[in-house]
Amino acid sequence: MATPLSASKLVEILRAEGLTVHEVRNWRTHNRNTKGPWGPMNGVVIHHTVTSGTDASVDICYNGYSGLPGPLCHGVIDKQGHVHMVGNGRANHAGLGDGDVLRAVVDERKLPPDNQADTDGNRHFYGFECVNLGNGKDPWPEAQKAAIEKVSAAICRAHGWSERSVIGHKEWQPGKQDPRGFTMDGMRARIADRLRNHKPGGGGGTRPPTGPRPSYEPFPGTAFFRAGRRDQLITAMGKRLVAEGCGRYEQGPGPEWTDADRKSYAAWQHKLGFRGKDADGEPGKASWDKLKVPASRS
């Protein structure tokens, strides 16, 4: 389970992924939080607007309409690939969907058919509306599909999720067909490739840091991480996992190796692009070296 990203953090990670982000009116405080809980977060839902034109689509998603107040999503992705942020918090986008699908998203496994509407999706999912008529004929420019990929990868990266945490509205709520015009399996493949091969930010032009180079704890070996082990190194590791958005702790990291540490480390491995037995939550040297746990032990 993940704590919702703040408005500032969401803008930060989207821009770091190379996206053009427009902040619409009072989007940072625009939500439906008075109507139900917001979080814990479990994934991203992709929609199409059934509208044309950026300005009109953004206005509808910000304001909503009779019977369904806005915001109707968190961001609108236009055909140029720009992202227009319209809400932060609970939004009227996912409605009631299939609880079995939610459990599959949480477990990051193959989705079952969506044949029930018994679970509140507005609580658990970020939602992005994409400007498209949804008639199967309106084109999806590559810039727009690339933006869907980048938005999804940025949020997955921030939470330590894999591409399986991204679903289409049609995979969540019975009777829906959006997004229509590309397959979600194809989009998830793009997201997976981006998570593996693209490092966000990375622009040049910054001055190298001065001063002494920081030192990090060397990998203590796989055998170090076993049930009952107590060491300040485990606390330091846990703090770094939380800082990377991979913490799966209910009360914060502590000095004893627990199942929460294993789950948090598995989220870190997923964030790095590891899969299967390479993302089982048991630290290995490659992932440990990338975590960069500050040296503090005497």
User: pLDDT tens across 178-227, in order?
Assistant: 999 999 999 999 999 999 988 887 543 344 444 566 688 898 888 899 88
Residue 278 binned pLDDT confidence (cut-offs 50, 70, 90) = confident
The reported pLDDT for the residue numbered 204 is 38
Residue 100 has pLDDT above 60, yes or no: yes
Number of H helices and E strands in the chain, helices first, is 10, 10
- Higher pLDDT pick, 104 / 208: 104
How many CB atoms neighbour CB 22 within 10 A?
15
Residue 298 has pLDDT above 90, yes or no: no
The pTM score is 0.70
How many CB atoms neighbour CB 64 within 10 A?
18
What is the residue extent of each domain of the chain? 7-197, 222-291
Q: Give the CA angle between residues 113, 263, 252 to the nearest 5°.
A: 125
* Tokens representing residue 297 in the block: 């032990």
The reported pLDDT for the residue numbered 206 is 40
Residue 65 has pLDDT above 90, yes or no: yes
* Topology of domain 7-197, CATH: Lysozyme-like (3.40.80)
Which residue bears the tokens 């968190």? 74
Residue 48 binned pLDDT confidence (cut-offs 50, 70, 90) = very high
